[in-house]
Amino acid sequence: MADAFQPGNTAENTDPRVLRSRHMLMESLLRLLTRKEFADISIQEITDEATLNRATFYLHYPDKNALLQAMTAARFRDLIARRGLSFTDCDGALRAIALGVCDYLAETAGCPGQLAKMPLEGSIIPVVEGMFQEGAAKHTMVPGTDPKLLATTAAWAIFGAARRWYQTPDRIPAEEMAAKIEAMVKPIFLTASM
């Protein structure tokens, strides 16, 4: 699942034509979401809006949900990059992801059309899970630990706390919330790694 939104060092992910097609499809979906419900958008409409053909769509994505996840991942990673957050160590990554989720919720709620109304957990949770699975692969885990379950648990904990933060009137700054989320979620990882 992480491969759908995590670029590797392959020619496919650096070829300007591939990147251009993916960008066009993402922008097309974003424009359509300002006018229609996600469930009512067809792949044909996405490709027509992007001035690409259906075959091109299927070269890049198996379905429109995968396109939505790729679009979410790109936006999420852009938010993290704009803040200049780095993933040099696990602590930095955990706080960066928490802050990224807070930013994502705040920015998406201000988006026009259906994107602001969509259930965001379906698009952001898989992205965050993928990031945690990447990180878990670099650590020795306690025997019997399921890295996918660990990633899911942490992703939902971060998303749930960030959503509660976003829905709170007169909320604290995102940076403060990210620190609180980090303090709550970090023990999940500490008990699972050696």
Give domain limits for the chain: 2-67, 85-192
Answer yes or no: are the C-beta atoms of 25 and 50 closer than 8 Å: yes
**Contacts of residue 173, Cβ cutoff 8 Å, sequence gap at least 6:** none
Q: What is the pLDDT along the chain (194 residues), one digit of tens a residue?
A: 333 333 444 455 678 999 999 999 999 998 998 888 888 999 999 999 999 999 999 999 999 989 988 888 888 778 777 776 555 566 578 888 899 889 888 887 655 455 545 556 777 888 888 888 888 888 888 899 898 999 999 999 999 999 999 989 999 999 999 999 999 999 988 888 77
Give Cα 108 to chain centroid, integer Å. Answer: 12
In whole angstroms, give the CA distance from residue 18 to residue 59.
Answer: 9
* pTM, rounded to two decimals: 0.72
CATH number at 2-67: 1.10.357.10
- Residues 184 and 146 sit within 8 Å (Cβ to Cβ): no
C-beta contacts of 53-56 below 8 A and 24+ residues apart: 56/21, 56/25
Is residue 113 a contact partner of residue 34, using CB atoms and an 8 Å limit? Answer: yes
DSSP tag of 97: H
